[in-house]
């Protein structure tokens, strides 16, 4: 497949590009900063420089020619304010969907966040609440589109070495997950089209990523999955920059 990753210099995106190119996929990594081109090339991906906050859908689509699938892995970053949560995490995701539709790339995998899909609880930090609202709006926009979409909501992201042991279901207890394992799950989701139409939560658990994805679709995408292990019960659970 030809797979385009928006937010291609993000920590998850760089890991994902390396996994996908190692598996023989042709990867286009979209980055905002030209200084990041060499890091993208080191993963085996093809860099494309395009600022999601200023580009039009047509401009972005020009970098996606031939793509079969897209991944939104961009984020405004933990130091950004509420305005950029909206312009990147919401509007950027919608821009990628517009561009994907225009080039005929039907498969769309959105990296969202655990906690999205509902109003943030009272007392949530204002900036983090804006992040969750932006992710919720991005999910709602995507679900209205005629695309083969999958939404992945990871728990708290860590830089621990991946163990390839996850819990992946529509609803899981809050917990953490290594970025390595998020990237691995994304690769399996991209390669399994029967996960389209599912909103999935992800934390560390007991199942290999490939088996966890296969279990979700063994009944032809009904979402009737067995319990996939136990998530960690301790540690911070708020996601940080992908």
Cβ-based neighbour number of residue 222 at 10 Å: 11
To the nearest 10°, report the CA torsion of 159, 161, 165, 170. Answer: 20
Backbone φ and ψ for 112, nearest 5 degrees, come out as: -105, -140
Q: Answer yes or no: are the C-beta atoms of 207 and 182 closer than 8 Å.
A: no
Q: Which CATH architecture does the domain made up of 2-217 adopt?
A: 3-Layer(aba) Sandwich (3.40)
d(CA 151, CA 113): 9
Report the range of poorest mean pLDDT among 59-68, 96-105, 170-179, 232-241: 232-241
Q: DSSP assignment, residue 177?
A: E
**Tens of pLDDT along 44-103?**
999 999 999 999 999 999 999 999 999 999 987 777 788 888 999 999 999 999 999 999
Q: Give the residue extent of every domain in the chain.
A: 2-217
Cβ-based neighbour number of residue 217 at 10 Å: 19
């Amino acid at each position: 497949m030809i797979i385009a990753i928006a937010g291609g210099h993000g920590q998850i995106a760089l890991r994902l590009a390396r996994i996908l190119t190692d598996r023989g996929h042709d990867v286009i990594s979209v980055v905002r900063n030209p200084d990041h081109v060499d890091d993208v090339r080191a993963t085996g991906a093809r860099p494309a420089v395009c600022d999601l906050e200023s580009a039009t859908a047509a401009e972005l689509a020009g970098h996606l020619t031939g793509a079969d699938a897209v991944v939104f892995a961009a984020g405004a970053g933990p130091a950004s304010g509420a305005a950029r949560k909206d312009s990147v995490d919401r509007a950027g995701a919608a821009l990628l969907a517009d561009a994907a539709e225009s080039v005929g790339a039907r498969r769309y995998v959105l990296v969202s966040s655990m906690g999205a899909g509902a109003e943030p609880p009272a007392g949530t930090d204002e900036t983090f609440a804006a992040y969750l609202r932006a992710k919720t709006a991005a999910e709602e926009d995507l679900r209205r589109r005629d695309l083969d979409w999958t939404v992945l909501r990871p728990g708290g992201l860590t830089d621990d070495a991946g163990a390839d042991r996850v819990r992946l279901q529509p609803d899981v207890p809050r917990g953490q997950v290594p970025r390595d394992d998020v990237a691995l799950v994304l690769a399996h989701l991209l390669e399994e089209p029967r996960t389209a139409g599912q909103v999935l939560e992800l934390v560390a658990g007991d199942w290999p990523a490939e088996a966890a994805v296969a279990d979700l679709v063994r009944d032809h995408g009904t979402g009737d999955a067995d319990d996939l292990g136990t998530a960690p019960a301790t540690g911070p659970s708020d996601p940080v920059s992908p």
